[in-house]
């Protein structure tokens, strides 16, 4: 997977997060990419195709509670069927209102769920300083799509 120059690759700080990539947005919203690879416990009993179909049938089921799905589409990653989904989540933490947009790339491969989550957001106050928030979202969505297009399943080749 490729990520923008100038971003830092860091170790994931949770057991299921393999790696994360962090951009320095200055005073704007934070941008974060998180890569997780989760072994599916019943993967030996169900095919990758059947598990992918579950993603297709219930894309909203992949989102955390309180998230709103904005759109989803079936796609391919390195020739494997997958799902791309955009969502928005609002939350309160320590008295601060937060808004987070995410474009998630899901692919099931060899009994594992691979998720590349591209997130953009922060405290609601950071969005006030953006001259054209709609244009910013278009840029973020394009960046997240380019990152998804860079996914390569190395042992496939």
List, for residues 8-47, the tens digit of each pLDDT value: 677 666 555 666 666 655 566 778 888 899 888 875 678 8
Query: Which pTM does this prediction carry?
Result: 0.81
Q: Is 63 exposed, middle or buried (0-12, 13-18, 19+ CB in 10 A)?
A: middle
The full DSSP string for 22-42 is E---TTS-EEEEEEEEEE-TT
Q: 93 falls in which pLDDT band (50, 70, 90)?
A: confident
pLDDT on residue 103? 95
74/6: higher pLDDT:
74
The alpha-carbon radius of gyration of the chain (Å, integer) is 16
What share of the chain in percent tops pLDDT 90?
33
All structural domains of the chain, each given as residue ranges with its CATH number in brackets, are 8-151 (3.40.1000)
Average pLDDT value for residue range 69-89? 94
State pLDDT tens for residues 109-123: 998 999 999 998 888
Q: What is the mean pLDDT of the chain?
A: 83
């Amino acid at each position: 997977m490729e990520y923008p120059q100038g971003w830092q690759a860091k170790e994931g700080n949770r057991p299921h997060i393999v790696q994360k990539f962090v951009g320095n947005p200055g005073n704007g919203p934070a941008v974060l990419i998180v890569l997780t690879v989760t072994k599916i416990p019943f993967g030996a009993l169900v095919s990758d195709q059947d598990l992918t179909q579950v993603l297709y049938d219930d894309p909203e089921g992949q989102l955390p509670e309180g998230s709103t799905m904005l759109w989803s589409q079936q796609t391919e990653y390195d020739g494997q069927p997958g799902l791309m989904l955009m969502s928005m989540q609002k939350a309160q933490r320590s008295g601060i209102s937060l808004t987070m947009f995410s474009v998630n790339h899901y692919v099931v491969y060899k009994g594992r769920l691979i998720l590349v989550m591209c997130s953009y957001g922060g405290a609601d106050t950071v969005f006030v300083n953006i001259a054209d928030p709609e244009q910013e979202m278009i840029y973020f969505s394009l960046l997240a799509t380019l990152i998804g297009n860079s996914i390569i399943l190395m042992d496939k080749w």
